[in-house]
Structure 1
């Protein structure tokens, strides 16, 4: 079964026209009309190109340690201590 040709242009553009479109939004809020890279959901301009995106393991997320288990536990202990101090002050008054 032959593929349907789009238009009268000598180049067969049918496969590109039938390709899945990029799922990104433009600044104007309209969907991107470029075809998605094969096997991905974005076009080459919106992150579908090889090598784009965050590095594997994303070590950048651990830059300051604000959300480590230890830091969260310390903050909880501090909040509990402050709450107890406020309650003690209310009882003394």
Structure 2
């Protein structure tokens, strides 16, 4: 017969909550995994998260200051060349 015995839910009620936000924007109400700040669904589980040395996180460098300056320099050279050709 289910539901007839009392459950000891006090430790879970007083355990720290997950610090993640749900899709609604409200805080997650699930208990955090022991020793972590997130619940099992938001990254507190073992082996969760990005792998060590994640190659997907490497940046391409297209928007560095040097790359932007190089593109501006090339644009100026092309503009000056066009003006010089049009002047003839």
Same fold (TM over 0.5): yes
Aligned residue runs from structure 1 range 8-87, under 5 A: 10-62=6-58, 66-67=60-61, 72=64, 73-74=66-67, 76-87=69-80
TM-score (normalizing by structure 1): 0.63
Q: What CA RMSD, in Å, does the superposition of the two structures yield over aligned residues?
A: 3.0
- Give the CA deviation at 1:10: 4.1
Gaps of 5+ in 2: none
Number of residue pairs matched? 80
More helix by share: 1
Change (3 A) 1:28 1:78: closer
Question: TM-score when scaled to structure 2?
Answer: 0.65
Gaps (5+ residues) in structure 1?
Answer: 1-8
